[in-house]
Structure 1
Amino acid sequence: MSRRYGGSPAGTIISIIADIAVLILILWIALYLFDANTANTTVSWVHDAANWLSGWSHNLFTIHSDNWRTAVNYGLPAVVYLLIGHAVAGRVNRT
């Protein structure tokens, strides 16, 4: 593993899970903004996973632009998972 994931195995696992969640959310934002074919199995899977990960933040803000609404509805959870996941991992690594 790289230096970024140094520390206890539990902290490493928490960091990797947070990074994967963030990657899925950012990937869905990119796929949406580039009008990916939602009938594609991979695109559909990414969308379903992103919906599950970001269900708590949908329609948190009233935004009329579809692109901005998607960026906020999926970007906000990405930031939250990144910050909380790595904070928890750092805490686990210190104990």
Structure 2
Amino acid sequence: MSSRNGNAAGRLIALIADVLAVILVVWIVMYLLDANRANDLVQWVHNAADFLAGWSRDLFTFDEKWARVVCGYGLAAVVYLFVGHAVAGRISR
């Protein structure tokens, strides 16, 4: 029974990591496609991505703004995926 609980908890953690990464990637795509920042959905995604990538958002100092967005938010997405799935794997064992 404990193996089953571990698998469920691991799947939940992996799912949460996936959702966080998707929010960050959606913001990167919206930014690159110049989405209307006055739109409520765009604002929500941007605010959520800013919160999730607060630690990596201004980590890089490229001259081009798009490169800073892709690298800063992209790094956060990769870290969430890597750490989330690593933790999920450990719990599932």
TM-score by length of 2: 0.92
Q: How many residues align?
A: 88
Describe the superposition over 1:36-95 as per-residue Cα deviations: whole angstroms up to 9, x where unpaired: 00100000000000000000012212111011010011000000000000000000000x
1:22 is aligned to: 21
Runs of 4+ more than 3 Å apart: none
Query: Aligned residue for 1:4?
Result: none
AA paired with 2:63? Answer: H
Structure 1 counterpart of 2:39, one-letter code: N
**Residue identity in the other structure for 2:73:** Y
Gaps of 5+ in 1: 1-6
CA distance in structure 1 between the aligned counterparts of 2:51 and 2:65, rounded to whole angstroms: 19
Pairing of 1:1-95 with structure 2 (within 5 A): 8-94=7-93
Question: Tell me, what secondary structure is at the counterpart of 2:36?
Answer: coil
Matched residues, percent identical? Answer: 55
TM-score (norm 1): 0.90
Secondary structure, in 3 states, of the residue corresponding to 1:56?
A: coil
CA–CA separation in structure 2 for the residues paired with 1:49 and 1:67:
18
Which ranges of structure 2 fall in alignment gaps of 5 or more residues?
Answer: 1-5
